[in-house]
């Protein structure tokens, strides 16, 4: 059992993450089934659980299910695609336990919306602390190359990996209390300072000519190798953000929060987003194919969403 746990944690720690640090600790806690761990308590108070439930209800209230999609809905030509919770490359036991989103499922729905002739606009609804770096570059390129307008609407937080994706949208709209940023990449790790609970001390034997196969963070060379890994991933991240927001990499590096989160109004002023608004305002701009004006009755939907949000708060 201890060996299995070590393998799970090694898999989590063995890849770069574009995520808020507290959430990576929470994911490790979930993986070990330590549901009462302090790592979980540190993120429990940020309101993400209530926002997640509220967001799912809001998406369910938007029109009807998009045919062929797993989790998206469509109304008046607007496909609404939720991106909630930590982002993983694909669905796993850990992602399900963490309330996370699978990147392959997100992009499958995105392709369905692109192919549907009745969809004129794609709205990606974000509330995510970020996630695994793997696959984000390709997904970002697909969103940036979309032949249909894409709006990223942020209902809570859009951090790190989530902002990597959102920054590629045609337009980014934030709720007044929403925030974006945490641009950067991290690697998690641990070191053995005493025998573990079972009395066994773990160790690895690496072949002579492959010292960087498992860098040792306790050595200068090992830490330098790990630093190169996260810096290279960060460079790709920042380059994509720069392309999506149509600014220089230097601007992203110096003005887009420097790894911190930025609240809605300031984010717009810095160019990290385009405007502060509401989901209903975004959807009201959608057009039915062939119509010059947006159609449908929107007041009932707006009232439902507002009631759910107040109840969640």
Q: What b/e readout covers 40-78, taking b as 16+ CB neighbours within 10 angstroms?
A: beebeeebbeebbebbbbbbebbbeebeebebbbbbbbb
pLDDT at 173 over 60: yes
Partners of 275 in the β-ladder: 173
**CATH superfamily entry for domain 47-183+211-307:** 2-enoyl-CoA Hydratase; Chain A, domain 1 (3.90.226.10)
Query: Could you report the per-residue pLDDT of 98-111, keeping only the tens digit for each?
Result: 456 889 999 999 99
Give the span between the Cα atoms of 69 and 52, in whole angstroms.
Answer: 20
Token pair for 18: 């574009």
Query: Could you report the per-residue pLDDT of 134-160, keeping only the tens digit for each?
Result: 899 999 999 999 999 999 999 989 999
Please tell me the predicted confidence (pLDDT) of residue 164. Answer: 96
Confidence of residue 310 (pLDDT cuts 50, 70, 90): very low
Give the span between the Cα atoms of 229 and 237, in whole angstroms.
Answer: 13
Q: Is the pTM of this model over 0.75?
A: no
Confidence of residue 302 (pLDDT cuts 50, 70, 90): very low
Please tell me the predicted confidence (pLDDT) of residue 18. Answer: 72
In the chain, domain spans: 47-183+211-307
Q: Give the mean model confidence (pLDDT) for residues 289-304.
A: 44
Q: Give the mean model confidence (pLDDT) for residues 26-50.
A: 53
Please tell me the predicted confidence (pLDDT) of residue 250. Answer: 96
198 versus 278: which is more confidently predicted? Answer: 278
Q: What is the mean pLDDT of the chain?
A: 76
pLDDT at 254 over 70: yes
Query: Could you report the per-residue pLDDT of 215-242, keeping only the tens digit for each?
Result: 777 778 877 887 888 899 899 999 999 9
Can you state the percent helix, strand and coil of the chain, rounding each to 5? 45, 15, 40
Q: Which of 85-94, 186-195, 303-312 ranks highest by mean pLDDT?
A: 85-94
Please tell me the predicted confidence (pLDDT) of residue 280. Answer: 86
Least-confidence region, from 78-87, 95-104, 109-118, 188-197: 188-197
Confidence of residue 203 (pLDDT cuts 50, 70, 90): low
Of the chain, the percentage scoring pLDDT greater than 70 comes to 61
pLDDT at 34 over 60: no
Please tell me the predicted confidence (pLDDT) of residue 171. Answer: 96
Please tell me the predicted confidence (pLDDT) of residue 214. Answer: 67
pLDDT at 97 over 70: no
Residue in 17, 49, 36 with CA at minimum distance from that of residue 187: 17
């Amino acid at each position: 059992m201890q060996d299995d746990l070590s393998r799970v944690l090694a898999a989590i720690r063995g890849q770069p993450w574009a995520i808020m640090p507290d959430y990576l600790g929470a994911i490790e806690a979930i993986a070990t089934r330590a549901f009462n761990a302090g790592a979980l308590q540190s993120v429990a108070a940020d309101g993400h659980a209530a926002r997640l439930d509220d967001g799912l209800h809001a998406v369910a209230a938007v029109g009807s299910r998009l045919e062929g999609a797993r989790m998206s809905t469509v109304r008046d030509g607007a496909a609404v695609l939720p991106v909630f919770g930590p982002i993983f490359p694909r669905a796993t036991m850990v992602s399900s336990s963490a309330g996370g989103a699978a990147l392959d499922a997100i992009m499958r729905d995105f392709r369905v919306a692109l192919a549907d002739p009745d969809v004129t606009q794609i709205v990606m609804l974000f509330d995510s602390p970020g996630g695994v770096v793997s696959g984000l570059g390709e997904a970002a390129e697909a969103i940036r190359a979309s032949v249909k307008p894409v709006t990223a609407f942020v209902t809570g937080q859009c951090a790190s990996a989530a902002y990597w994706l959102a920054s590629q949208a045609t337009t980014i709209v934030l709720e007044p209390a929403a925030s974006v940023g945490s641009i950067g990449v991290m690697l998690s790790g641990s070191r053995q300072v005493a025998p573990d609970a079972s009395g066994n001390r773990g160790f690895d034997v690496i072949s002579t000519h492959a010292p960087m196969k498992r860098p040792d963070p306790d050595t200068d060379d090992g830490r330098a190798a790990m630093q190169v890994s996260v810096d290279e991933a960060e460079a790709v991240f920042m380059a994509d953000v720069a392309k999506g927001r149509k600014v220089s990499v230097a601007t992203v590096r110096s003005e887009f929060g420097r790894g911190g989160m930025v609240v809605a109004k300031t984010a717009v002023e810095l160019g990290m987003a385009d405007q502060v608004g509401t989901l209903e305002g975004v959807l009201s701009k959608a057009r039915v194919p062939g119509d010059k004006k947006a159609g449908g009755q929107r007041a009932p939907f707006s009232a439902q969403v507002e009631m759910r949000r107040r109840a969640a708060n």
